[in-house]
Amino acid sequence: MPILKDPTGTEFDSIFTVLPAHHVFHDSELNPRPIGENVVKLIEEFYSEDPNPQLHVCLCRMEEIETENGWKTVKVLLFDGQHKAVAQLYNERKYLILRIFIKGDKEKLKETNWRAHTELRQIEFFKSIAARVGSGIFAERFKKYLESAGDYKSEAAFINSLPYTERQKMKKKFVQWLKHGILYPKDPEAEDNKMTPFIESEKTRKRGKPISYDAFEKTFIKHFVYTKPAEDRIDPNTEEYFRIIERTNVVKLMSIIAEKALINKFDEKIGAYKIEERLRKGENIPEMHVKAFRIFRPKAFEVWCKLLRDCIEVFLKTRGKLPDTYAEEGKIFWCKLDESDWKEIEKMIERIVNHNIWLSRKLEIIDAINSTRKEVVQRLLLEGKIGDEKVVDTPLTFQYVMGVRS
């Protein structure tokens, strides 16, 4: 096949060809995005006896598997145009039109594709997918930095070692690395995050899960993760890296909340779509499902998560686990916790989850829980009021969550 040189002079030589579909694989590293609902439109576009043409070829790269007798065996990995490819396969087409990059640095190709779906996007990567890709780019660069020569290493020093024009972009990838690492921890001996299956990871018309990715960012990331590149020294030869400690604690916290409020309680078959409307129409929905749905209504979630954070901060300072400097900077989970600490935190979570407000039958309270105005939800949960009227005898106060009796 003729090898085409990039007219701009880059190293990315390529070939254009048609291959049997069974020789083409999904590139989950460069594009981990799952197939979405919009594929239906493309199936219709390419269907019929006189189908419309596929205007844009699918983009692929090669990954070497082995070399035998001087010949290389490679895998063709498709990273752009996967919906077009799936639509053609669904219509029983046996071949795919491809542009295959046969040369060029994989990391550069990954970053170029990431930028095409974010900064230069027409249809953007969903946030969770962008986080996965951005996380991979940061992790690769950060690993090389930690393995390089030099005694003093830190997250801030790594960012400052980059050319000025790259720093802001890498800071975004750094935050994506923090987010993705919490949802999908890969540290040695790390436990899975039990809340991850309940968080939306792609755009959908009908919500099947109780927690949006946006809500995850505005709660656990905002209140429990220090999102600035830290100046604290990193010792590459020890596992006592503060980010692993922080990640372990946040994952543990989220898993406990999932056990108390979601697992075997929220039914994805029932989903989160128009629950209150369905209840008012007489649909029989289990109480535990309704309760889980309301606990994670976006504004309510933000309010009680901030309250929980404040309680945990005071508790850890009282126990001498959290230094004042860390507390002031927002590094509240940069300390190791033991089982007795977690038992007390678990009690705080139980007090929030088991509060009777979540199963209230009063319409004004239900409407306030579901309100998109944070100040309305805040006044209800923290003060027990709607406007100036007292509607909840025992609201979610600091004393209540801490278990302090008046």
If asked whether residues 98 and 145 sit together in one domain, one would say no
In a domain, 1, yes or no: no
If asked whether residues 224 and 316 sit together in one domain, one would say yes
CA 227, 229, 233, 234: dihedral to nearest 10 degrees? 80
If asked whether residues 57 and 184 sit together in one domain, one would say no
* Whole-number pLDDT of residue 8: 86
CA separation, residue 174 to residues 158, 256, 402 (Å):
11, 26, 34
CA separation, residue 18 to residues 25, 45, 50, 100, 311 (Å):
14, 20, 20, 10, 61
In a domain, 171, yes or no: yes
* Whole-number pLDDT of residue 165: 87
Domain that holds residue 331: 127-402
If asked whether residues 243 and 381 sit together in one domain, one would say yes
Residue pair 125/117 in contact (Cβ under 8 Å)? The answer is: yes
In a domain, 7, yes or no: no
Average pLDDT for 30-48: 85
Q: What percent of the chain has pLDDT over 70?
A: 95
Looking up tokens 């792609």 gives 202
Looking up tokens 């640095």 gives 105
CB atoms within 10 A of CB 144: 11
Average pLDDT for 42-59: 87
In a domain, 272, yes or no: yes
Distance from the Cα of residue 372 to its chain's centroid:
22
If asked whether residues 275 and 159 sit together in one domain, one would say yes
- Number of structural domains the chain divides into: 2
In a domain, 168, yes or no: yes
pTM for the model: 0.75
If asked whether residues 354 and 226 sit together in one domain, one would say yes
Computed over every residue of the chain, the mean pLDDT equals 91
How far apart CA 18 and CA 94 sit, in angstroms, is 10
CATH number of the structural domain spanning residue 29: 3.90.1530.10
* Whole-number pLDDT of residue 229: 95
* Whole-number pLDDT of residue 208: 84
* Whole-number pLDDT of residue 191: 86
DSSP class of 152: -
* Whole-number pLDDT of residue 239: 61
From the list 345, 131, 136, 334, the residue with the least C-alpha distance to 244 is 334
Q: Residue type for 346, please?
A: E
Q: Residue type for 78, please?
A: L
pLDDT digits (tens, 9 = 90+) for 199-247: 987 665 567 899 999 999 999 999 999 999 999 998 877 666 899 999 9
> What residues contact 380, with CB distance under 8 A and at least 6 apart?
357, 365, 368, 369, 386, 391, 392, 395
pLDDT at 2 over 60: yes
* Whole-number pLDDT of residue 125: 59
> What residues contact 313, with CB distance under 8 A and at least 6 apart?
322, 327, 332
End-to-end CA distance of the chain: 81
pLDDT at 109 over 80: yes
How far apart CA 137 and CA 349 sit, in angstroms, is 35
* Whole-number pLDDT of residue 174: 94
pLDDT digits (tens, 9 = 90+) for 167-192: 999 999 999 999 999 999 887 677 89
If asked whether residues 344 and 197 sit together in one domain, one would say yes
If asked whether residues 146 and 60 sit together in one domain, one would say no
* Whole-number pLDDT of residue 126: 67
In a domain, 239, yes or no: yes
* Whole-number pLDDT of residue 75: 94
Which pLDDT band holds residue 392 (cuts at 50, 70, 90)? very high
In a domain, 120, yes or no: no
Burial code of 325-348, b = ≥16 C-beta within 10 A, e = fewer?
ebbeebbbbbbebeeebeebbbeb
Residue pair 71/104 in contact (Cβ under 8 Å)? The answer is: no
Q: Residue type for 109, please?
A: L
From the list 4, 61, 55, 50, the residue with the least C-alpha distance to 27 is 61
If asked whether residues 41 and 160 sit together in one domain, one would say no
In a domain, 254, yes or no: yes
pLDDT at 369 over 70: yes
If asked whether residues 183 and 225 sit together in one domain, one would say yes
If asked whether residues 34 and 164 sit together in one domain, one would say no
If asked whether residues 385 and 308 sit together in one domain, one would say yes
pLDDT at 344 over 60: yes
* DSSP secondary structure, 275-311, as one string: HHHHHHTT----HHHHHHHHHT-HHHHHHHHHHHHHH
pLDDT at 122 over 70: no
Q: Write down which residue in 56, 72, 104 finishes a domain.
A: 104
